[in-house]
Amino acid sequence: MSASLDGVKVIDLSRYIAGPFCGQLLGDLGADVVKVERIDGGEEGRRVGETVEGDTLFFLSANRNKRGFAIDFRDKEGQALLRQLAATADILIENFRPGTMEAMGLGWDVLSALNPRLIMVRISGFGQEGPLAQHPCFDGAAQAQSGVMAMTGPAGGAPTMAGVFVCDYSTALYGVIGTLAALHARETSGRGQVVEATLMDSGMALMTTAIPERILFGREPERLGNRDRYLSPSHCFRSRDGIWIYIVAGNDVHFPRLAAAMGRPELAQDARFATFVARNANVAELEAIIDAWAAERDGEAVLEIIHAADIPCERVATIADVIANPQVVHRKQIVDVPHPVMGSVPFQAPAVRLHGTPTVIRRGAPGLGEHGAEILSDWLGMSTPEIERLQAAGTI
């Protein structure tokens, strides 16, 4: 069965998370992705976090379904070789600091002249131009600058970074969305284009109504901890046996059901709680009532009661809970990714499913430069003696 992006050739020059994950998603969809790294040690992600048989889980998590190519980026012949590869590619992903590609002779003007059908995906912290363009950026800095961090954390407490790299991963997703749109547009125009995705823009895109509320009403969003920003009650409640359960019952359909399920139907008519505006205004009182109710029951009993009332609620799962979750097991959302020494390493499966052209994990993350000769032969038709010359010169 063919994959969605069969025949699409991708050069991935990126490092860390946002760019590599963008490339991995395209690889999961069937593209032939070539991971290009510097020859002296590879990308920085190879040295971050826990290792298995010499490979970091960090690197493995964002680089499956790629072939490996290593090159001396500073070498003029290496730069010329990258231009040759770009001339045959459909997509090129990069997340260097703005201006770096141009300094290597790999700017959009050069590459698009060589290959008018090329799509260049430029991932950065703040964009290619503007007053912050040259600032170095990781996910936490983007959370700070985009406003995400100011809205995250306990009420009255310090700004808090989210527990996962939300700006990195959302930027990867926006990068893929833009790339797929550019591929579709190319079918009509015959030409590629630049696709830009930035960590700051991606963080801002997650803000729902915070920015218009500030502009229109002068209202700065507060940190609310685990509370929903719009509807109450929506919070974590602790059961008698210490299980945390998140209950979302803030609208005018769910709250009467919650009140009845708790054996307190009168709460739905109480003037303090009868509307979502009233519930938001009296949220502390309402949460205290639910806290007391939950504290009298074991967690499983709370879940059974609330689920029976058809109200969104779930146990706050540990990672061990997630791994054992029967829904995760049923959907096979943890898969074995090939590894040359371990045999395989468990990772999350692709999050999107296509029933006609399914995603496939064809290979694990590549070794540094593992497929260099193969790629030059496949993509450029380069002869063995010429490949050996480049290897001897230290270019690849």
Distance of CA 231 to CAs 121, 228, 251, 293, 380, Å? Answer: 38, 6, 6, 20, 58
Q: Is the separation of the CB atoms in 120 and 108 below 8 Å?
A: yes
Residue 124 is given by DSSP the state: E
Would you say 186 and 119 are in contact if contact means Cβ atoms under 8 Å apart? yes
Q: At what angle do helices 18-28 and 166-189 cross, to 10 degrees?
A: 50
Whether the bond into 233 is cis, omega within 30 of 0: yes
Q: Which of 168, 252, 310, 336 is catalytic?
A: 168
Catalytic-residue membership of 168: yes
Q: 138, 149, 123, 136: which is closest to 204 by C-alpha?
A: 149
DSSP-assigned letters across all residues of 303-317: HHHHHHTT--EEE--
Can you name the residues that pair with 198 across neighbouring β-strands?
Answer: 124
Residue in this structure with the two tokens 């090159």, named with its chain if needed: 71
Q: Which residues pair with 121 in a beta bridge?
A: 93, 195
Sign, CA torsion 60/61/65/68:
negative
Q: Whose structure tokens read 């790999």? A: 106
b/e for 45-64, b at 16 or more Cβ within 10 A? Answer: bbeeeeeeeebbebbbbbbb
Q: b/e per residue, 337-351, with b = 16+ CB within 10 A?
A: bebeeeeebebebbe
Which residues have a catalytic role annotated?
Answer: 168
